[in-house]
Structure 1
Amino acid sequence: MLTLSIVFFVLILIGMPVSFSILISSAVYFYFIGELPFTIFYQKIASPTQNFALLAVPLFILVGNIMNETGIAARLFHFTRYVVGWMSGGLAQISIFMSAILGGVSGSAVADASMQSRLIGPEMARKGYPVPYSANVIAFSSLITGLFPPSISLILFGFVGNVSIGKLFLAGIIPGLLLTVMQMMLSWWIAKRYKIQPELPGLPKFKEVSHSAKINIWALLFPVFLLFVIRLGLFTPSEAGAFIVVYALIVGRWVYKELSFYGLKKALKNSAVDLGMVMFLIMAAGALGYAIILEQLPVAAGDFISRITTNHYLILALCLLLVLFFGMILDGSVCILLLTPIILPVLTSIGYDPVHVGIIMTTTILIGANTPPVGICMFTVCSLLKCKTEDFFKSSLPFIMTFILFLIILTLFPEISLMLPSTLME
């Protein structure tokens, strides 16, 4: 395992893409281990592609790209303006609330951050919002999508950890809503300090909100249908993905009439590119995961941590610190694929529920999306809003502290995550 680790980090340091670093270091491991034939390496690369649960990944990637071609974001902006635009920092509140809704559309924090930077960012600049504040609001609110179904991160965790994806989807809803409320409260407090005015002069009339909801009803029903078909057992998560793709095509083409042939072609092309990157990572991680099992790394990690402490909370804290460290230097999907086989057995062996572990582990990884040196959401938003990364990072402390507080609450009160799965899927 030492050889594998050395090769992996050397390749990372010389600038090799992470997926290739995983694949090459795994190949070196299998080549030099004498007990197994090298053909095992090929088998372990191919075997993840045969998993039925992974069908959910391309389907939800496709539906996210289809929805991006239907003008759905502009419609949701219209709706959220009436719902939360009356609060201080109106555009910031709209950004956060839209992320909560779009969590059931894209499943991708980067996609949400990019879309909102183009949609809301210029309007924030025009109305005098400080650029670092705007960038932080958009970047951190986009992370909410990682908890709401159909989160790609939760799908990957369920696949690698052999955990029910349906339960993970349900488990993310209440934490996602809680994180939405906490971020809106923080943005309200900061907006008060900057004396940023609401978008609306006062509370909207019920007639205005209901009219906006009626106009956007097909978009708002999207996440509802997703949970409905899974909860009733009509479809598995993979089958639900196929259902939602058909739903998105019908709404985009025949209801909103904005999905053109060119738009569909673009969505298919972007989905193929996105899926290629994700599946290559999954295939490379398949070989690495098997090497981790052969070396009994989860057992060794558990023994090492148990020698340090027997306190369950301290063990959890050590595991999450490891996840946070790797989340700051690697992409979130890579972290889940690499660390789940190590972290999940350690925490489940001391009594933590695997569904709860999935939620807190995903939350911890999300923090790294807005911190140097990788920070993919951070760099996406900063490039689009022309915000210096040092200014972004200086202004991000309250948002990071809010995320840490949120993580502590999830850790101390697991029923927040487990309430819906235990109630609806037992």
Structure 2
Amino acid sequence: MTEKPGTLHARAAQLATRLETALAMVAAAVLAVMLAVVLTSVVLRYLFHTGVIGTEDLGIWLNVALIALAAPLALSGPLAMRLDLPFGPSAKKLAGIIADAFSLLAALVLIFGSTRVVNLIGGTSPALGLPEWVRFAVTGAGGGLLAIILVLRRIGERQVLPLAASATLASAVYYACLHVTVTTALPASIAIALAAAVGLAAAAPLAHAFIAAAMIAIPFGGNLGTETIVTTTVSGMSHFLLLAIPFFLLTGAALSASGAARHLVAFAASLVGHRRGGLAQTVLATGTLFSGASGSSVANAVFSATTFHPELVRHGYPPARSGAIIAASSVLDNIIPPSIAFLILAAATDLSVGALLLGGLFAGLVMAAALSIAIYLTTRNLPGSRPVARGERRRSLLAAVPAFGLGVIVVAGIRIGIVTTTEAAALAAIYTLALAAFSKTRRTALFSVFRQTATEAAAIGLLIGSAGPFAFQLAVDGVSGMIASTVAAFGGSPAAVLAFSVIVLLGAGLVLDIGAAILLLGPLLLPLATGSGIDPIAFGVIIVTTLMIGGLTPPVGMLVLVVAGVTEVPPAALFRAVLPYLAALLAAIAILCTCTLLI
């Protein structure tokens, strides 16, 4: 039954849609300006041997604004990083109330914490000449927009009473956290972890759960006031290196829009598609090639699920097996360069991005070989697609050459030292945007590419920032010392440290998004590894590759959940079907660990 346009619910839904559209337009414009700023800096530096003071600061401030404005748009969808547990109807309704309470509590922290910072902070940016409080005011505005959009959505969905319960709960918890003290011997970081676990179990967005959990920990001895939560969150977003994330996401989206991604598919099919089970090998080969463009496993999972799943099923592959192959192949995108995961690790640990990307290339090829063997063993009774016509392989290679140009820009540019990581990402983005602009087969408007990228980048950026308060509390509580003592109990040898780290990382991957896990565990585990004589770059590669396996494991299993959402295959069936490929990836991790110990 269609609702009358004049009702309160219809008006709220309509207003929410208009507000989201306006925010998407503004965020897309901010992303475009950010790209223009970095590209202008590149042109001035390398062609005219000059520059503009404050370019990096301006890029950072624009990125903070992008995250604040577009993050409210990621309340739903895979990038909200919600855990969907199989609750019954009554329990699901209660979980929804708790999840919205976490989101509203996070909004209150951002609003009032930013207000306190704005009132306390002074001075101006030396490079930009703008008051320092502007960044925090924008963040507070983002919290307000989050609350407004959530309220309008729930009213539009006729969820007024649950919304009232969520708002009451969030307000009561916020007030209690400011006025109540709880005496306990447990460190405050345990309180944050438990509170975040409750939010995650209730299906609150992971970033909101982290921010709200930091607030909930205050009565338990947390060293974080609302203003400290906000400053550490904004500080976590304020790295010039992190601008590479939206640019790499833009690169992947533009590559798909240009039609160049289809040329990669055709080339991959010409290589392996004619063999037994060749269509499944084509999925893997495409994932390996497309990894050099998108840098995002979620982006590749969506692309492959949309492109390949119907074809795999049509050729006789079971739906669950098809989805499992797609999910497992998508792991490679955050490992083979350019990799957003390695960018996050570099920002958290100051490791060399170029060295990490080269290590990721080797690790990705090892994992691709392991997956290829597993796919062969599980699909060898299924036919290939068709024989390769004479000259088809050469023609498909020539058609795919423009997409391969990205590898030269990104990996060679960064490793040789011609450009920085952020500059290489910006050049890759403008390169693929040019491909899309002049493509005769483009079906997506470039504005839609910018809007989609802005939303995805903001969701990832907010997650990176929201992990800051948790990481700060872990440092205050001396968790790194506790971990070092635990490792010492096992002997402290390189093999013991590596085995302990892999177990911790696999456990974290069960419940945490890879970005959050890197930010929390990377700075804790890396000193232990280097102290035992393990090469830091090799260990960084182990961190990312091991955590990426968490994309295939329940209960979070982000890649499995994304593929399930696109293909409508039940997640439980996909989790079962992915087991052979999970075993192959674990074998690859064992090989990489052996290589690390031999370095």
- What TM-score, normalized by structure 2, do the two folds share? 0.65
| Stretch of structure 1 that moved more, 312-321 or 379-388 | 379-388
SS in 2 for 1:414: helix
Question: In structure 1, what is the equivalent of residue 196 of structure 2?
Answer: 8
Unaligned runs of 5+ in 1: 419-426
Match of 2:284 in 1: 96
Partner of 2:476: 294
- Name the SS for the 1:120 alignment partner: helix
1:32-87 CA-partner distances (Å, limit 9, x unpaired): 65878764433222222331211211211222222221122222111111111132
Distance 1:39 1:134, change over 3 A: closer
Aligned equivalent of 1:109: 297
Tell me the equivalent position of 1:342. 524
Residue in structure 1 matched with residue 559 of structure 2 by the alignment: 377
**Structure 1 CA distance for aligned equivalents of residues 200 and 222 of structure 2:** 26
Could you tell me how far apart the structure 2 residues matched to 1:25 and 1:348 are?
31
Q: Give the letter for the 1:120 counterpart.
A: F
Which of 353, 372, 387 is the matching residue for 1:201?
A: 387
Q: 1:30 touches 1:41 (CA, 8 Å); kept in 2?
A: no
The residue number in structure 1 matching 2:361 is: 173
Cα deviation, residue 176, structure 1: 1.1
Give 1:222-261 correspondences, 5 Å limit: 222-254=406-438, 256-259=439-442
Does the CA contact (< 8 Å) of 2:255 and 2:435 recur in 1?
no
Counterpart of 1:274 (choices 443, 451, 456) is: 456
| Residue 418 (structure 2) pairs with residue 263 (structure 1) | no
Larger Rg: 2
Q: Cα deviation per residue 1:207-241 (whole Å; 9 max; x = unaligned)?
A: 33222111221012222332121122110111101
TM-score (norm 1): 0.90
Contact 2:494 2:597 survives alignment (8 Å): no
- Identity, % of aligned positions: 27
- Contact 1:31/1:38 (8 A) holds in 2: no
1:139-154 matches, within 5 Å, as: 139-154=327-342
Provide Cα deviations, 1:98-129, integer angstroms capped at 9, x if missing partner: 00111011111121111111111111111111
Secondary structure of the structure 1 residue equivalent to 2:258 = coil
C-alpha distance 110-209 of structure 1, shift in aligned 2 (>3 A): same
Q: Deviations over 1:182-222 (max 9, x none)?
A: 21222122222xx21222336x64x3322211122101222
Contact 2:267 2:400 in 1 (8 A): yes
Q: Call closer, same or farther: CA 1:220–1:5 in 2, change over 3 Å.
A: closer
Contact kept in structure 2, 1:86 and 1:199, CA below 8 Å: yes
SS at 1:405 equivalent: helix
In the alignment, the residues of structure 2 paired with residue 277 and residue 67 of structure 1 have an alpha-carbon distance, to the nearest angstrom, of 21
Opposite residue 411 of structure 2, the aligned amino acid is L
- Does 2:313 match 1:137? no
For the residues of structure 1 that align with 2:356 and 2:322, how far apart are their CA atoms? 31
- CA separation of 1:234 and 1:126: change in aligned 2, threshold 3 A: same
Structure 2 match to 1:307: 489
Given candidates 359, 363, 368, the residue that maps to 2:545 is 363
Query: What displacement does 1:289 show?
Result: 1.6
Q: Assess if the C-alpha contact under 8 Å between 1:327 and 1:335 holds in 2.
A: yes
What is the correspondence of 1:18-33 to structure 2 with a 5 Å cutoff? 18-29=206-217, 33=221
Q: State whether residues 87 and 188 of structure 1, in contact with CA within 8 Å, keep that contact through their aligned partners in structure 2.
A: no
Distance 1:258 1:303 in 2: 59
Equivalent in 334, 341, 347 of residue 159 of structure 1? 347
Paired position in structure 2 for 1:403: 585
Separation in 2 of the partners of 1:42 and 1:363?
31
Q: How many residues align?
A: 411
Deviations 1:238-286 (A, max 9, x none): 11011111111112212x34457x6211111111111211111111112
Q: Decide whether the 8 Å contact of 1:166 with 1:236 is kept in 2.
A: no
Alignment correspondent of 2:127: none
Kindly provide the CA deviation profile for residues 367-386 of structure 1, in whole angstroms up to 9, marking residues without a partner as x.
11112111121122233333
Q: Which runs of 5+ in 2 are unaligned?
A: 1-187
Given residue 198 of structure 1, which amino acid in structure 2 is its aligned partner? G
Residues of 2 paired with 1:394 and 1:43: CA distance? 43
Question: 1:415 deviation in Å?
Answer: 8.3
Matches within 5 A, 1:53-132: 53-132=241-320
Is 2:398 the counterpart of 1:214? yes
- How far has the Cα of 1:172 moved from its partner? 0.8
Letter of the structure 2 residue corresponding to residue 335 of structure 1: A
* C-alpha distance in structure 1 between counterparts of 2:301 and 2:288, whole Å: 12
Aligned-partner residue type, residue 413 of structure 2? V
> Counterpart in 2 of 1:285?
467
Whole-Å separation in 1 of the counterparts to 2:241 and 2:481: 26
Secondary structure in structure 2 of the residue aligned to 1:185: helix
Identify if the C-alpha distance between structure 1 residues 173 and 270 changes in structure 2 by more than 3 Å, giving closer, same or farther. Answer: same
For 2:266 and 2:223, locate their aligned partners in 1 and report how far apart those are by CA, in whole Å.
Answer: 62
1:88–1:191 CA contact under 8 A, matched in 2: yes
Output the amino acid matched with 1:245.
Answer: A
Letter in 2 for 1:196: L
SS at structure 1 position matched to 2:267: helix
Matched residue of 1:326: which SS? helix
Distance 1:339 1:34, change over 3 A: closer
How far 1:136 moved relative to its partner? Answer: 1.5
Pair 191,297 (structure 1): closer, same or farther in 2 beyond 3 Å:
same
* CA–CA distance in structure 1, aligned partners of residues 213 and 384 of structure 2: 53
User: Which deviates more from structure 2 when the two are superposed, residues 300-309 or residues 239-248?
Assistant: 300-309
Aligned pair in 2 of structure 1 residues 38, 183: CA closer, same or farther (>3 Å)?
closer
Higher RCO structure, 1 or 2 (CA under 8 Å, sep 6+): 1
Aligned equivalents of 1:33 and 1:187: distance in 2?
A: 51
CA–CA distance in 1 between the matches of 2:597 and 2:290? Answer: 25
What whole-Å deviation, never above 9, does each CA across 1:291-310 have from its counterpart, x for those lacking one? 22222211221112212433
Residues 343-372 of structure 1: per-residue CA shift (max 9 Å, x gap): 222222212222112211111111111121
- In structure 2, C-alpha distance between the alignment counterparts of 1:275 and 1:31, rounded to whole Å: 33
CA-atom RMSD in angstroms: 2.2
How far 1:28 sits from its partner (Å)? 4.2
